């Protein structure tokens, strides 16, 4: 499974919200960056999705 960068958000909280939204649609998500902190903020987090689902994820999030 090839993962590609979808977007970058400013906090782990935002990343988890995006991951939950995409996961509800059956899209596998990998979060990379400042995600392991116990605090809801802490730095940017990159969101990666399956290459063949990137267009669908973009539409779901309204990034297009």
Where exactly are the structural domains of the chain?
3-61
Per-residue pLDDT of 2-53, as tens digits, reads: 999 999 999 888 999 999 999 999 999 999 998 876 665 678 999 999 999 9
User: 30 is written with which tokens?
Assistant: 């990998």
pLDDT value for 24: 97
Phi, psi of 47 (to 5 degrees): -115, 125
Evaluate whether 33 touches 43 at the Cβ level (below 8 Å): yes
Fold of 3-61: Alpha-Beta Plaits (3.30.70)
Structural contact between residues 44 and 8, judged by C-beta atoms closer than 8 angstroms: yes
Report the candidate in 42, 51, 55, 47 with the shortest Cα–Cα distance to residue 16: 47
Q: Please state the three-class secondary structure of 23-51 as a single string.
A: HHCCCCEEEEECCCCCCCCCCCEEEEEEH
């Amino acid at each position: 499974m090839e993962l590609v960068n979808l977007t970058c958000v400013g906090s782990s909280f935002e990343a988890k919200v995006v991951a939950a939204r995409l996961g509800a649609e059956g899209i596998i998500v990998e979060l990379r960056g400042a995600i392991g902190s116990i605090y809801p903020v802490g730095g940017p987090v990159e969101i990666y999705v399956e290459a063949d689902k990137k267009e669908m994820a973009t539409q779901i999030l309204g990034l297009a």
